[in-house]
Structure 1
């Protein structure tokens, strides 16, 4: 598995960010090889980045396919990137997973 992790700050209200996360779930989970999505908000007022979005891929072969998939490109260009200009994105190979 691979986790596509984005930590970001948003140039939008909290409500707009929550709507973006819901849309991300609706759109990105339709891409073949995307097997999960998580979104969260930092606790407290001091963190450098306020939010995270995690998209889970079934394997490393999905990374390039996802990057160029029309659903991802359209969502990222129209919704996510304009809102989250201050961001860091990294793909991680999952080496250990403990179920909740």
Structure 2
């Protein structure tokens, strides 16, 4: 299993409610991509965390990474919904060991 982690902050004009709605949309849309096995969203416990939000997309295996990156559902969601909202972000893929 591979976890695609994105820690991010939203622009100042984006409300917490809008961010939560975006995360729900991410789950609904990205789960339609073959090889995506889960989508999770979290909010930092500490108010002063460097990154306030976390989006985790679970992939069945490493072969899904490139497929997901280029998939039209992901490209549209990332370009039209996520990136305009998530102005500061770090993305990394992790191969799970245990």
TM value normalised by structure 2: 0.96
| Residue aligned with 1:82, SS | helix
Query: 5 Å matches for 1:7-46?
Result: 7-11=7-11, 12-46=14-48
Pair 1:80 & 2:82 matched: yes
Pair 1:51 & 2:56 matched: no
- Taking the aligned partners of 2:25 and 2:72, their CA distance within structure 1 comes to 15
- Taking the aligned partners of 1:75 and 1:18, their CA distance within structure 2 comes to 15
Pair 1:70 & 2:72 matched: yes
**Structure 1 stretches (4+) deviating beyond 4 angstroms?**
none
- Taking the aligned partners of 1:53 and 1:10, their CA distance within structure 2 comes to 12
Tell me how large the CA RMSD over aligned residues is: 0.5
**Unpaired segments of 5 or more residues in structure 2?**
none
Matched residue count: 96
| Residue aligned with 1:77, SS | helix
TM value normalised by structure 1: 0.94
State the 1:44 CA deviation: 2.2
- Taking the aligned partners of 2:50 and 2:38, their CA distance within structure 1 comes to 25
**Unpaired segments of 5 or more residues in structure 1?**
none
